[in-house]
Amino acid sequence: MSIWYNLLQVEIDLKKLTRNYLFFKKRALNPIPVIKADAYGHGLVPVALSFARAGAKAFAVGSVEEAVVLRLAPFEGEIISLLGPVFPRDYELILEEQIIPFVYNFEQLLRLQELAAREKKQVALALKYDTGMARLGFKPEDSEKILEIIRASQWLKPIYLASHLASADVLESSFVREQKNIFEGVAEFWQKQGFYLQKTLANSAGILAYPELHYEVQRPGIGLYGSNPFYGTRLESLGEGLESGMSVKAPILHLHTLKKGQSVSYGQTFVAPRDLTVAVVGVGYADNYSRRLSNRGWVCIKDKRCPVLGRVCMQMIVVDISNVPGVEPGEWAYLLGGPGRNKILPEELAKWWQTITYEVFCLLGQNPRTYV
């Protein structure tokens, strides 16, 4: 974003995020925080440095680009790039900055081997297998050929064996067991060949619900940002104590009365059933506050919930404040979080938005952020 046209403010509470990291440290031996996509919209460097201060020795980012930004923060520990090398310059950067790439095809493996041999530098890597997600990853039957390439090279050093769960947050999914079996089959192959690879499979939900899938290394993401993967299910208590570290507020621009029978906003999708006091709030879909929240979302003003009336506009919404006395222009409407007991949870906002908390964080986090 080149110009900050936004009126809303995103506040990131690094203490709360750090508490979430410690929550995972208590439940798993070696959680590597996943801070891809700008730490799910919370800010890659501030989040990483906070977790590092709390003891994190390694991080998983998305792109090689992100890995370099973290290296220059500076961060001296291990940095894993989950998307691996994509562009030609990524290969150079991996070697120069000692980034550990997820490697998921032969082209990457051969190019890394070639460059490492030319530069006479060892390159540590994570072998990424597809065990059911069907996005990125070697297939189990690729193992022999990978082995051949690695045996023929003195420069390629696989240190992690990785895969990703598709349904760890789906209660009693048998697919988790299928993926586990495939993953363990691949692990056995490498072990038999004399490789000691650290196995990593579990995301946040996997860590909470499947202790048997912890292996040597775990990869929590969404839980670090305070969203409980089991919110609203009978496993909800597994994520009890996680707390969102993002709050988002926008200023009230104007107040007026909406007379009974009067409509509001584009398309006249809301008509006042009685006289209402309404507030116009300075946020809209241009700030990534989705138009899907039209007539569905709620904001929190003076610790009271106020419904969004009519369509979300580009830079404004209208909310009903009839039940909130003493509101004045310039006061804040919380779209996420809030200072009181009625703060808006990321899971609630995601539900009104008809999406998941991951998307809520990533999108709202693209706005101007401040840190507390």
Ligand X SMILES: *Cc1c(COP(=O)(O)O)cnc(C)c1O
User: Catalytic positions, please?
Assistant: 36, 266
Burial class (CB in 10 A: 0-12, 13-18, 19+), 178: middle
The one segment of 9-17, 46-54, 221-229, 324-332 that binds ligand X by CB under 6 A: 221-229
C-beta of 153: minimal distance to ligand X in Å? 25
Neighbours of 354 (CB within 10 A): 11
C-beta of 115: minimal distance to ligand X in Å? 24
C-beta of 78: minimal distance to ligand X in Å? 15
Q: Residue 176 or 316: which CB sits closer to ligand X?
A: 176
Burial class (CB in 10 A: 0-12, 13-18, 19+), 296: middle
For 12-80, the DSSP string reads E-HHHHHHHHHHHHHH-SSB--B-HHHHHHT-HHHHHHHHHHTT--EEEESSHHHHHHHHTTT--SEEE
221 binds ligand X (CB under 6 A): yes
Query: Pick from 299, 300, 304: which is nearest to 289 by CA?
Result: 299
Q: Residue 80 or 250: which CB sits closer to ligand X?
A: 80
Q: Residue 170 or 255: which CB sits closer to ligand X?
A: 170
Lay out the site mask for ligand X across 58-87 (x = CB under 6 A, - = otherwise): ------------------------x-----
Q: Residue 92 or 243: which CB sits closer to ligand X?
A: 243
The tokens for 130 are 């597809």
Q: Residue 19 or 291: which CB sits closer to ligand X?
A: 19
164 binds ligand X (CB under 6 A): yes
Name the 3-class secondary structure at 267: helix
Query: According to CB under 6 A, which residues from 126 to 155 bind ligand X?
Result: none
**CB-based closest residue to ligand X:** 221
204 binds ligand X (CB under 6 A): yes
C-beta of 234: minimal distance to ligand X in Å? 19
d(CA 239, CA 358): 16
Q: Residue 160 or 298: which CB sits closer to ligand X?
A: 160
294 binds ligand X (CB under 6 A): no
Q: Residue 164 or 199: which CB sits closer to ligand X?
A: 164
Name the β-bridge partners of 277: 257
261 Cβ contact partners less than 8 Å away, ≥ 6 residues apart: 271, 272
Query: According to CB under 6 A, which residues from 7 to 66 bind ligand X?
Result: 34, 36
d(CA 17, CA 224): 6
d(CA 224, CA 289): 22
**Could you tell me how many residues of this chain bind ligand X (CB under 6 A)?**
11
The one segment of 5-13, 68-76, 213-221, 346-354 that binds ligand X by CB under 6 A: 213-221
222 binds ligand X (CB under 6 A): yes
C-beta of 212: minimal distance to ligand X in Å? 17
The one segment of 3-11, 214-222, 251-259, 293-301 that binds ligand X by CB under 6 A: 214-222
220 binds ligand X (CB under 6 A): yes
Q: State how beta strands 304-309 and 198-200 pair.
A: unpaired
d(CA 189, CA 194): 9
The one segment of 41-49, 143-151, 215-223, 340-348 that binds ligand X by CB under 6 A: 215-223
d(CA 327, CA 332): 9
Q: Which of 203, 290, 294, 357 binds ligand X (CB under 6 A)?
A: 203
Query: Pick from 71, 60, 53: which is nearest to 31 by CA?
Result: 60
Q: State how beta strands 276-281 and 298-301 pair.
A: unpaired
Query: Pick from 196, 123, 194, 195: which is nearest to 153 by CA?
Result: 123
Q: Which of 16, 199, 219, 305 binds ligand X (CB under 6 A)?
A: 219
Contact residues for ligand X, defined by CB under 6 A: 34, 36, 82, 164, 203-204, 219-223
